[in-house]
Structure 1
Amino acid sequence: MKHYNVLIIGGGAAGFFAAINIAEQHKHLKVAILERGKEVLTKVKVSGGGRCNVTHAEFIPQELTQYYPRGEKELLGPFHTFMTGDTMEWFESRGVALKIEEDGRIFPITNNSQTIIDCFIDEAKKYNVEVLTNQSVTRFQNVKQTWKIITKTDQFSAEKLIVATGSNPKIWSFLEGLGHTIVNPVPSLFTFNIKDDRIKDIPGVVAQDVTVKVIDSNLESSGPLLITHWGMSAPSILKLSAFGALELASKNYKFDIEINFVNQDYDMALSQLKDYKQQFSKKTVVNYAQFNLPKRLWKALVLASSISEDTKWADVNKLQLETLTSQLTQAVFNVDGKSTFKEEFVTAGGIDLKEINFKDYQSKLHNNLYLVGEIINVDAVTGGFNFQNAWTGAFIVAKNLYK
């Protein structure tokens, strides 16, 4: 049986970040990572479309917590200890140059997630962190103040055990056997499947500023909206999916949404259209997009209002104007299912937050058992926030492990 001072289950972002920081601060310790697969950091590789969205340019803890549908209250203290600026400094001090994009997302300047992976691998080697792959854990338990970890091929023991496996049902089951409460996981970041003639032929169109509501609920979000081959995506939809994860799961992902494409109320938009009718009387309605809408989206909404392609503004009747106003401000779409956002799969659910001490991320039920990353019931909207949760938790574990 191999013995380590610290053993980390999970060779992902949180696992590596914890291991490197622990080994750097305590160079005499034997630290190892157990990864069930052949490769480590696979989720880092595909994140951010292969670019790795490291974190987000939000530098005030109270503001940063607003991006976490689950974990907002619990993360306020940890973010005062380690957050966005600290993350940037950590990577840049290790030779990874970062850049902030217009929407606030932060990426390596190389636009390549391999840069982050190489940094982790190099740092792990530098501080003698052992990385053991093909180590699928079958059981772990605490015996006389020592953690015993059994995999399909080996047995290990450790003074301190850190579990950073992400959304792993098998590990959740083990932790449940140790007395922890598991909040049932449901998808948190997903796009909406919508079949509708209005958007069927315009995939790739982006409306920059819309408001989306889930009908018969209090769920609402705003921001860009992307029309896709399967339905709708982009921040306005992804925010709804995150904050409405539990409610939308209870609806079996079948519900209606109302979209305001112009962010004006009905009466204001109708008044604007009446002005256009006077101003552009001799022009064809479909050919001149208004309200800064993309031309293809404007055309689709005009045609959906029973206004033909050759109709001039002067010939638009009262009913057609009112119908177009509804399409612009109150367009209803039926959502029938969901799709994973890119290759990223984030879940709401995991270890109940009441059972974790957020001063050191130690289990309140078991000494020397630490839980970080998506294995706990914390999740965020898209934009680098889930990684920031991983970095923060892992750093705080490392800082407090041997206090």
Structure 2
Amino acid sequence: MKKVVIIGGGAAGFFTAINAKEKNALLDITILEKGKEVLQKVKISGGGRCNVTHACFEPKELVKFYPRGEKELLGPFHQFMTGDTFEWFDFRGVSLKIEEDNRVFPEANTSEAIINCFQEKVSDLGIKVLKNQGVISVDKEQDLWKISTKSNIFYAHKLVVAAGSSKKIWDICSSLQHTIIPPVPSLFTFNIKDKRLTDLLGISVSNATVNIVGTKLEASGPLLITHWGMSGPAVLKLSAFGARILADRNYQYNVEVNWLSRPTDKILNVLLNLKKKEPRKTVILKSPFAEIPKRLWERFVKFSNIDANQNWADLNSYQLDNLANQLTKGVYNANGRTTFKEEFVTAGGADLKEINFKRFESKLHKNLFFVGEVLNIDAVTGGFNFQNAWTSGYICANSLAE
């Protein structure tokens, strides 16, 4: 009987183990978890509902959500894709639903549905799950892997590293001659202190365009004002794709926001037309843009040097230009970052050049596999990181079952 050890009791580790055992019942599989509990990231994902995947069903479109791993995941996504994820969970009694923003959750609306599914399956299949087994070293002894923890030594014919963003495990991978790309945070919100945003906590716009001044980094989508600055899908996407650039700048940079995602000249024309049609209306009380919340509009008016009692007819060209620029070219200084909820994601990990993505096996060592976020693969928020876990776990399982 072939022995398999999986380092990491998270989503990728459980998914790999279950699929491998279902395909080859003779495998003796052990999952080693360093902590007291397993599947903790699954538990907190999506605010405790578990954002299982994203309703994008074309591999070429799906890979665009991965700042690191886009090229490497294209082939694997043709083998196990979003639709396969739906089918996999449905077959095992967990129905999934698509929400308006295309995020996918269990119909039960709780991460416990996923956790229970995994735990029941590993129990039914006889997969051993050992907690408090932090791995301290991995060595090769003839054709076997020797995995040492503080309290035990395990031997395996095949070893799967599924420990996520773990410095200790990355150090162990380095001891096995694998290159580790130094990790930096991804998926974070921008810390911005600006009087234009003060006391506007919770206000959002549906489609803003945000760019990092002096770079080609740009993203569009919903933008949310928080007590520490800016968040929302547009900002989080920008943080993911700009993870290394922003880290190099020590998280000090300027952010330009087009709150309407429309050219400045077109916005200026809208303002000029309103001045002609509603000359006696008070500017601060009459906005032509339904997308801009009232309190945010009032703030833009104030910082365009427009008095609270001024009518549209009273505005000069300087004030109109100022208002158009506040709406489309507002520059905000960011200094620092804040982790997005509890979902800490890093850019970094095992170098993708050293992985065979047809098997998720090391090119340096036979029978050594990597799945999930231990690899230098990460994605924007919305269920994409879990899809990487499912896809890599499934393909790795096929290799283990051979």
- Aligned partners of 1:183 and 1:326: how far apart in 2? 40
Q: Deviations over 1:206-262 (max 9, x none)?
A: 111111110011101111100000000011101110111111111110000111112
Amino acid at match of 2:98: I
Taking the TM superposition and a 5 Å limit, the aligned residue runs for 1:191-270 are: 191-270=189-268
Q: How does 1:293-372 map to 2 (within 5 A)?
A: 293-372=292-371
3-state SS in 2 of match to 1:398: helix
CA distance in 1, matches of 2:145, 2:61: 38
Deviation at 1:313, TM superposition (A): 1.4
Higher mean Cα deviation, 60-69 or 280-289?
280-289
| One-letter amino acid of the structure 1 residue matched with residue 313 of structure 2 | A
Q: Does 1:379 align with 2:378?
A: yes
Give yes or no for contact 1:4–1:32 (8 Å, CA) kept in 2.
Answer: no
Taking the aligned partners of 2:187 and 2:112, their CA distance within structure 1 comes to: 23
The answer to whether the 8 A contact 2:159-2:367 is kept is yes
2 CA distance for matches of 1:101 and 1:160?
A: 39
SS in 2 for 1:367: coil
Q: Deviations over 1:292-346 (max 9, x none)?
A: 2111211111111111222221222221111101101100000001000010011
- Out of 319-328 and 282-291, give the one that drifted further: 282-291
SS of equivalent to 1:198? coil
Question: Could you report, residue by residue, the CA deviation over 1:111-142 in whole angstroms, capped at 9, with x for unpaired residues?
Answer: 21111111111111111111100001111111
Deviation at 1:105, TM superposition (A): 0.5
Q: Is the 8 A contact 1:4 1:157 kept in 2?
A: no
Give, in whole Å, the separation in 1 of the partners of 2:57 and 2:94: 20
Conserved 8 A contact 2:251-2:334: yes
Quote the residue 2:117 is aligned against: 119
1:109 maps to a residue whose letter is E
Whole-Å separation in 1 of the counterparts to 2:332 and 2:64: 28
Letter in 2 for 1:276: L
CA distance in 2, matches of 1:365, 1:191: 37
- Which whole-Å CA distance do the structure 2 matches of 1:265 and 1:80 have between them? 38
In 1, the alpha carbon distance for the partners of 2:258 and 2:82 equals 33
Match of 1:143 in 2: 141
Does residue 13 of structure 2 align to residue 15 of structure 1? yes
In the aligned structure 1, how far is the partner of 2:339 from the partner of 2:115?
Answer: 23
The equivalent of 2:400 in structure 1 is: 401
Report the 3-state secondary structure (helix = DSSP H, G, I; strand = E; otherwise coil) of the residue aligned with 1:142.
strand
What is the SS of the residue equivalent to 1:223? strand
Which position in structure 2 is the counterpart of 1:180?
178
Distance 2:295 2:349 in 1: 42
Query: Quick one: which amino acid aligns to residue 106 of structure 2?
Result: P
CA shift, 1:289, in A, is 2.9
Q: 1:336 is matched by which residue type in structure 2?
A: N
- Conserved 8 A contact 1:289-1:299: no
Query: SS where residue 75 of structure 1 aligns?
Result: helix
The SS at the match of 1:337 is strand
Q: Which runs of 5+ in 2 are unaligned?
A: none
TM-score norm. by structure 2 comes to: 0.98
How much does 1:370 deviate? 0.3
Aligned residue number for residue 392 of structure 1: 391
Query: Residue 224 of structure 2: SS of its match in structure 1?
Result: strand
Contact 2:3 2:158 in 1 (8 A): yes
The one-letter code matched in structure 2 to 1:324 is L
Shift of residue 4 of structure 1? 6.6
Output the amino acid matched with 2:326.
Q
Q: Secondary structure at the match of 1:242?
A: helix
Look up the match of 2:166.
Answer: 168
SS in 2 for 1:102: coil
Other structure's SS at 2:136 match: strand
Judge conservation of contact 2:106–2:114 (CA < 8 Å) in 1.
yes
Give the match's secondary structure for 2:71.
coil
Structure 1 residues not aligned, in runs of 5+: none
Superposed CA offset, 1:62-96 (max 9, x none) = 11101011100000100000010000111111111
1:324 partner SS: helix
